[in-house]
Amino acid sequence: MENSNQFWRLRNKDGRYHIYETFDEFRDKCYAYFEFKETDYVEIEESHLKSGIVKIRKQTPYLFEELYPFLGISRNTWNNYKERGEDFLTLITHLEEIIVGNKKRGAYVGIFNANIVKADIGLVDKSESNI
């Protein structure tokens, strides 16, 4: 076995290294996502009685499904980062509240589809059925 690969012996850690070794790196990259989203609009054509067809720029919602790839991590990694300490947990909780708040505000003012937002953030209609 003299010619076998022995590089595994040099590894002093099990598992992969964190993409973001420090809290500051992680925080700055998360905030970069929100800065990017401030300039991320879609153009939609709407028909108006007086003006005819008009192009309107609409903001797109903050999405976890966009944030994770932006950060280069998975949802599972996001959840694991919550266990890296109180500072990470506080930041991630804050960011989750920002994302949900953005969706709710957008739905309240009619920018985003309220039914899609309700389903996305887990709100359910409470209606009684007397059958």
**Tokens linked to 121:** 């953030």
Cα–Cα distance measured from residue 114 to residue 117, given in angstroms and rounded to the nearest whole number: 5
How many residues does this entry show for the chain? 131
**Tokens linked to 110:** 């009619």
The pLDDT of residue 14: 64
Looking at every residue in the chain, the average pLDDT score rounds to 86
Which residue is associated with the tokens 């991320």? 40
Query: Residue 118: which pLDDT band, with cuts at 50, 70 and 90?
Result: confident
**Tokens linked to 101:** 């708040």
pLDDT at 128 exceeding the cut of 60: no
3-class DSSP state of 56? strand
**pTM, 2 dp:** 0.74
For the segment 41-96, what is each residue's pLDDT rounded down to a tens digit? 888 888 888 888 889 888 889 999 999 999 999 999 999 999 999 999 999 999 99
